Amino acid sequence: MASAVLPLLNSVPVLTGADNYDSWKRNMRNILTLLQQDGSDCSALDMCEDTVTVTSDAAKLAKRAQVEKIAIAAINTRVAEGLISVSYTLVRDLWVALENMYGTAGPAAIYFMYQATLGFTISGNKDPSAEIANFEQIYNCLQSAGVDIPALVQAMTLLRSVPSSWNIASSFLAAKSSVNDVTYQNVRAAILTEFNQCRTSQAQANKFSGMRRGNQKPQWKPQGNQQQQQQQQQPQGQQHQSPQG
């Protein structure tokens, strides 16, 4: 069974820290669930999560030892160099150590997520709904980690993410008489409205440009060039044929 499962390890992202731990754990759990030796009574995930039953059977213990070695090697291959400073002999200890170090958002993970909000930009060449949803997901992760960012800061950060060619920040803020009117939902609605207007204007411009190209008159070559071209297209014998008389 192990030989069939190990090739699937490439589907697991390499753990680089707290920023991708949840995704890494979810994918690695799928591998560890399938990882067990023929005749073994538990999977590698059972060992990681300490759900194995106690046994004194020598054959079962030998199978478990084989699974444990393979599981440790599998985990180590999907962890970036430098993240593990200790050589673990028990997969349970390795699993718990990674959970403690990267599973709970510490200062480094929080800083990484906060930097992501400051660097967020809307491309402007597609519907920004999906991009805004990713932006909101970052704030949700920060909130889950106990970081409280004021709603006004979230709204302002989203507003500054629009393409510079849109120029909606000044008009949006000028239309608001109170800071209380600058809400995240209002900013989001303004961004979607601006995108739809830009898309409509671009479609009309493309249509008008196509109409102009269609109305252009064909450019005719001088008559002399036409006659010369016709002569070149005639069979060679006909070009030099003289009138009979």
pLDDT in tens, 25-51: 999 999 999 998 877 789 999 999 999
Question: What Å distances lie between residue 208 and 95, 201, 212, 213, CA to CA?
Answer: 62, 11, 6, 9
Q: CB–CB of 42/67 below 8 Å? A: yes
Residues in Cβ contact with 129 at an 8 Å cutoff, skipping those fewer than 6 apart:
192
185 vs 144: which has the higher pLDDT: 185
**How far is residue 102's CA from residue 22's CA, in Å, rounded to a whole number?**
9
pLDDT in tens, 63-102: 999 999 999 999 999 999 888 877 899 999 999 889 888 8
pLDDT in tens, 155-170: 999 999 999 888 888 8
Q: CB–CB of 13/20 below 8 Å? A: yes
* pTM to 2 decimal places: 0.50
**How far is residue 229's CA from residue 225's CA, in Å, rounded to a whole number?**
6
**How far is residue 24's CA from residue 19's CA, in Å, rounded to a whole number?**
10
Q: What tokens were used for 88?
A: 């673990």
Phi-psi region of 124 (alpha: psi -120 to 50; beta: other; left: phi over 0): left
Closest by CA position to 193, among listed 160, 174, 168: 168
User: Angle at the Cα of 194 (from 182 to 197), degrees rounded to 5?
Assistant: 150
Phi-psi region of 178 (alpha: psi -120 to 50; beta: other; left: phi over 0): beta
pLDDT tier, 242 (very low <50, low <70, confident <90, very high otherwise): very low
pLDDT in tens, 169-217: 888 999 998 999 999 999 999 999 999 988 887 767 666 665 666 666 5
